[in-house]
Structures are given as C-alpha cells and as structure tokens.
A = this chain, B = another copy of it.
Amino acid sequence: MLPVIHPAPEAPPFERIAIIGLGLIGGSLALAIRRKWAGGLLIGVDRKEVLEAGMRMHAVDVSADDAGMVAGADLIVLAAPIRQNIAMLHELPRFVQDGAVITDVGSTKTEILNEARSLPAPLTFIGGHPLAGAATGGVASARADLFDGRPWLLTTPAQEAALGRLETLLGGLGASPVRIQAADHDRLLASLSHLPQLVVSALMHVVGERAGERGLALAGRGLRDTTRLASSPPEIWRDIAATNAPAIREALDALIDVLQRLRADITRGEDLQRIFESAAEWKALLEGRASEPR
C-alpha cells in the first residue's frame, strides 16, 4: 500500500474524459484535471441544474444529461452514488468505444467490481476511491486542490497498461495512487470511515434528542468538532452501508461491545482506564506523534 511517485508528463494520459456525476468529487476531479491539463476535452453528465453550476465554474467543456454523450471518451469516471454507478455500469457496454477505461470514485469496491465482472460485454474497469472529502457535498464545494497529497485507492483485476495510464493521470493531478485489494479496501474503510460516520450521526441524533435546543446552546467546541461529519447526505451513505454491510456490521459489533463494557464497569472504571489509554495512544499515532501502541 505504499504510494508510488508519478512525475506528471506533458501530454495528458487521456484526451477525452467523461465524468458522470458532478458532485463534490466529480466536480473537484474536473477542476483538478483542468488545472493540470488545460487542453483535453472534459465531458460532464448530470442533471441539468447541476450541469449549469458546473459550466459556470468552467469545470467541464461539454455537458449533457444523457449518458450517450460518453461514447467518444477514452476515460469514463463514475462519480454518482454507488448504486447509480452500478446501474450506469450496465448501460456502458452499449456506448463506449474500444480501449476506453472505466473507473469510479465510490467508497466501497467489492460490489461494483463483482458487477463489472458480471457484464456480458467486457469492459476495462478499475475501481477507484479518492480519500478526500469535505464537510459539505455538491459541486458548489468542489475544489481543484481537493486531492492534493491525498491517497487515491485503486483496486482492479484490469490490465497493467490501463492501470498505469490511470495512475499517471491521478499522480499528475496531485493525488497519490495506492493499489489495494477490494476486500482489504472495504474492511479498512469500514473502520476508517464508515464506522466513524455512522457513530457520529447516531451520536448527534441521540445528543440532540436528549439535550434539546436549549441544552445544545450550552455545547462547546468539543461536541462541535466531534460531530463535524453529522451533516453528511443520507443518500450517499445508504449506498455505502448497503454495499459494505458485512464489514460495517463487524465494525459496529466491535464498537457496541466496547460501549457495553464501558457501561458495565462505569463505577469501577477499570475498562474505562484501559480504553482511554489505548485511545490516546492510537490518537497520538493518528496525529503522527508516536509509535504503534502496545
């Protein structure tokens, strides 16, 4: 999982790039490609009102609300919620030209790779997942530098040549491509991202219901920071949860078990002591200040 350094070449590795779904990630990808390679053609596909915002930001050259527009592209990026990406994957064999590379930016990888393998016509599909985000979604929050220095996980059974071209593109626009197996990806992301998101939303819901409006007015920066992710859009997260259910269930079970232990031992506090010490050590590691905890 070590990142590989890819010096950016002069010529873009793809000439005509179609991005289906111009949200935070799709929009930022368009802006990042535009920043690095002004010459290539960028095609955006989304609903009309999203496309208008994307055109105003000069994120794309051509826009359409019809997937047929991607026919001439040599790279097609699926950047809608996961289950829309999967539905689109089934449409693509009717449109795409020979040699086109398909990738996605979804937060789970096993299910979309299985779907890609099951297609009647063969497609060169490479699963992708940029580890970058923002507290608010949508093309209005898109930024050309969203992926700078961030890992972009790639998971694929595809030919080495196509993978190399995609890595050259992603490295050129500032990200660090990292290869990983789909199952490893989904298990890791269940811990790093999916569990924290579910827990933050559950916590904000419970705290709000119990404290009420007047109680929340007394909350400080601790609760605000802890719940930064609590505005995340449910549509995207329903797809993530549904397509990574086994790994998320396992992570949730582990957390519920720790919470039950804290609850059972709350007056003695010996489990609390151990769990807080472990948490502080992992936190130091997360912030790059320590070696691996015992």
Where the two chains meet, the residues of A that have a C-beta atom closer than 8 Å to any C-beta of B are 1, 131-133, 150-151, 153, 178, 188, 190-193, 195-216, 218-234, 237-238, 241-242, 245, 248-249, 251-256, 258-260, 262-263, 266-269, 272-273, 275-287, 292-293
Interface residue from B206, B248, B283, B285 paired with A255 (Cβ < 8 Å) = B206
For A282, the chain B residues whose CB sits under 8 A away are 204-205, 207-209, 216, 230
Is the Cβ of A262 less than 8 Å from the Cβ of B252? yes
Complex Cα distance A218/B286, Å? 9
A277 near B207: Cβ-Cβ < 8 Å: no
Known A-B contacts A210-B254, A283-B204; the reply to A237 vs B195 at CB < 8 A is no
Main secondary structure of the interface of A (DSSP, over half): helix
Q: Is the CB of A222 within 8 A of B204?
A: no
User: Contact between B284 and A267 (Cβ–Cβ < 8 Å)?
Assistant: no
Report B-chain residues with C-beta under 8 Å of the C-beta of A280.
230-232, 234
Assuming the contacts A199-B199, A286-B227, asked whether A219 and B192 have C-beta atoms less than 8 A apart, the reply is yes
Given A210-B251, A258-B205, verify A216-B285 contact (CB < 8 Å): yes
